[in-house]
Amino acid sequence: MDAETLTRLRRVISRLARMFNATSASEGLTPTQASVLGLVANRGPIGLAELTELEGLNPTMVSRVVSKLGGESLVRRRPDPADQRAIQLEATDEGRRMHERILAARTQTVAKILDGLPPDASAALVDALPALEALAEGLRTNRQ
């Protein structure tokens, strides 16, 4: 793939990420806080080490985010049954509800945009889903 095409792809991915990040701001969360909440809601209970690895953040940043989410009663800490010295995180009911609102807002944003596109453009996006999923997985594994 040529450099211009790669630049266009990177730019569109960045614009999409910013649009999705804006949906978390409507709930009073930063994009990182919304991402951590989503992981905890979907995968919880989850340990801090796994959360740090999945998010690709340093432990200090994860600790700050978790403290903020805990202070907002969106996640709670509990002892790890396998290691009483460690903790696991799980979403509270309010945390799950907020995560669902963020997901719904993101879905609504995509639906609204797709509704405004010509049918052939929407079909092309659907056809591109496997490639986009492979790209996302590649980005995730290269980050680790």
Looking up residue 106, the CATH number of its domain turns out to be 1.10.10.10
3-state secondary structure of 118: coil
- SS3 string of 16-78? HHHHHHHHHHCCCCCHHHHHHHHHHHHHCCEEHHHHHHHHCCCHHHHHHHHHHHHHCCCEEEE
As for how many domains the chain has, the answer is 1
Element (H, E) at 121: helix 119-143
Bigger pLDDT: 144 vs 41: 41
Look at residue 95 in the predicted model and tell me its pLDDT: 97
Parent domain of 71: 3-143
The interaxial angle of helices 3-25 and 93-116, nearest 10 deg, is 130
Grade residue 144 by pLDDT with cuts at 50, 70 and 90: low
Look at residue 61 in the predicted model and tell me its pLDDT: 93
The mean predicted confidence, pLDDT, of the chain is 90
pLDDT in tens, 78-111: 998 888 888 899 999 999 999 999 999 889 888 9
Q: Which residues are CB-neighbours of 31 under 8 A, at least 6 positions away?
A: 21, 24, 25
pLDDT in tens, 25-59: 778 899 899 999 999 999 989 999 899 988 888 99
pTM metric for this prediction: 0.81
